Structure formats: C-alpha cells, structure tokens
Amino acid sequence: MTLDPRTRALLDAARSGFSPTAEDAARNEAALLAALGVASVGAAKAGTAAKLLASAKSTVASVAGKVLVSTFVLASAAGVVHATRQAEPAPAAPPAIAASASAFEPSPAPECASPLASRSDPEFAPPLPSPSAPALESTPAHAPASAFASASLHASGVPSPSPPSSPSPPSTLEQELVLLRLGTARLRAGDAAAALSAFDDHARRFPNGLLEEERAAGRARALCASNRVEGRLARDAFLAAHPDSPQADVVRRACADAK
C-alpha cells in the first residue's frame, strides 16, 4: 500500500519542521567542537582545535549566509509559509519507496487498497453525484490542523473550488465518510473491535444515512474479523440486502471463515 495523497501532502508540509535551522547548526557545531577540543584533540592540540574552531566559525557564517527561504505550499491550504531553514535540501518525497515496498508486499487484499477511501475505492464510492447529496467540496478548512481533514475530501483529483471565505460545518455526507473511513482504517490496522465501534457509531448517528450500504459491509467485516458469531449473520443480511453491491465480494472474503 502507499499513503493516501493527503497524508503524503501532510508529511511533505511537515518535513521541513524537522530540519535544523542555521542557528541550530551554528550552536551545535560550536558545542561539538568545544567538546572535542577537550575530549579528543586535547589541550596539547589547542592549535588544531583553534583552527577547527576558526574553520567552523567561517562555515557557520557561510551557512548563515546561505540560508534559503523555502516556500511551502500546502495542497489543501490556504497559506504559504516562508521559513528560513538551513541550506540542506530536505529529502524529496520518496517515489521509489512505494515501488520497492510493493515488491516485498504480498498482494494486498482489495479491501485494504486504501483506508482513506479515495474516490476510486469501490469500498467507499459514495452514491454521487446525486442532486440531493451534499457536495463534498462544501467543506472549508476551518482550522489549520483540520485542513487535511478537508483536504481528504478533495482528494479525488477534482479541482477544488477557491477557499471559502467563511467556515461552514462539515456536510452530513462528509461526517458519514469520516466515520466509515475510520472504521475501515481500524479494520486494516487489525483493531476489529474499534472498527465495529466506528460502524456502530455511524449506525446510531446516521440510521438512514447515504452510506448505509458501506456501513453494513464494514460492520459485517468487523464482526467477522472479531470472529463473532454475528459475523455470519451480518454477512448473510448484507448479501441478501445488497446482492449486487461492489462490496459483496469483499464481505464474502472477509467472512469466508466466519463461524
């Protein structure tokens, strides 16, 4: 599996925060040289230490002079941050890792294709477009930390509208999606009980929700994963109610060994 694009964007935006500043570099180099001057070079090597220190100082000045202004653009966001960082390029996003990772991975079960339900994920293909369905794009980033929550809802590749000028609450469909994604992610993380809790929470909050079918599928899978006897019943009920569901196979596989 690879990371969801919005998770990737979050990591990319955060990466520079882990980097030292020029000030950090200068402070650390001076401290290290001081430590080495005592521990290694020794008093007898004061001349060498002094040369190293002088060299370090010039490098520090050079580094300080070479600071760059990095521009960070968040996929979801509204903002551009300018930060002064040390002139070492942050590591690039690792395109190779996904390919190399997949080479070692067994074929992922289809139900684990994405815990975050991209639009192409049949597990969470919401019944859209529907004239009555609330638009996914209606949710703004109402707080910086939640920008990614909103970003996840824009991860379909569909161009996002301009950032809205005022916050508005999440749409009902969006709220449904959050719970179902949570359930699926927990399933994939192997925590069936917690997954079931998310699906049950969805059932309580949205008994007639647009994503009832997805919830029923997830719930059946969670029950089967818990090895509970209700799993088979939930599977049978799901398959009876939704025989043509794109998730029917997923549920069958998940419940193949159900009691």
Partner 1 sequence: MNDVTPCPPHLDAAVEESATDFLALYRTHFPFVWRSVRQLGVDASAVDDVVQEVFLVVHKRLATFEGRSSIRTWLFGIVRRVVADRRKSMRRKPSTPMEPSSLDRVVPPVSPFTELESFELVCVLLDTLDETKREVFVLAELEGMTLAEIAQATSTNPNTVAARLRAARAAFECALLEHETRDHEGGLR
Per CB under 8 A, which of residues 175..204 are in contact with partner 1?
175, 178-179, 181-182, 185-186, 188-189, 191, 198
The stretch near partner 1 (CB under 8 A) out of 130-138, 140-148, 211-219, 244-252 is: 140-148
250 scored as a contact of partner 1 (CB under 8 A): no
Among 84, 120, 130, 227, binds partner 1 (CB under 8 A): 84
The stretch near partner 1 (CB under 8 A) out of 34-42, 127-135, 225-233, 235-243 is: 34-42
Among 100, 120, 130, 227, binds partner 1 (CB under 8 A): 100
**CA quadruple 189, 190, 193, 197: dihedral sign:** positive
**How distant, in Å, are the alpha carbons of 10, 24, 185, 231, 237 from that of 225?**
31, 49, 13, 8, 16
**Rule CB under 8 A: which of 47-66 touch partner 1?**
47-48, 51-52, 55-56, 59
d(CA 259, CA 148): 39
7 scored as a contact of partner 1 (CB under 8 A): yes
Taking the complex as a whole, the smallest distance from the CB of residue 229 to partner 1 amounts, in Å, to 26
Report the largest interatomic distance among the alpha carbons of the chain, rounded to a whole angstrom: 86
10 scored as a contact of partner 1 (CB under 8 A): yes
Among 111, 152, 216, 254, binds partner 1 (CB under 8 A): 152
Are 186 and 226 in contact by the 8 Å Cβ rule? The answer is no
Taking the complex as a whole, the smallest distance from the CB of residue 65 to partner 1 amounts, in Å, to 15
259 scored as a contact of partner 1 (CB under 8 A): no
Taking the complex as a whole, the smallest distance from the CB of residue 98 to partner 1 amounts, in Å, to 9
- Which residue, 202 or 235, is less far from partner 1 as judged by CB? 202
Write the CB contacts of 127 (distance below 8 Å, at least 6 apart in sequence).
Answer: 133, 210, 211
Among 66, 163, 205, 249, binds partner 1 (CB under 8 A): 205
116 scored as a contact of partner 1 (CB under 8 A): yes
Among 79, 110, 161, 163, binds partner 1 (CB under 8 A): 79
- Which residue, 32 or 241, is less far from partner 1 as judged by CB? 32
Among 5, 126, 140, 170, binds partner 1 (CB under 8 A): 170
Beta bridge partners of residue 70, listed in sequence order = 83
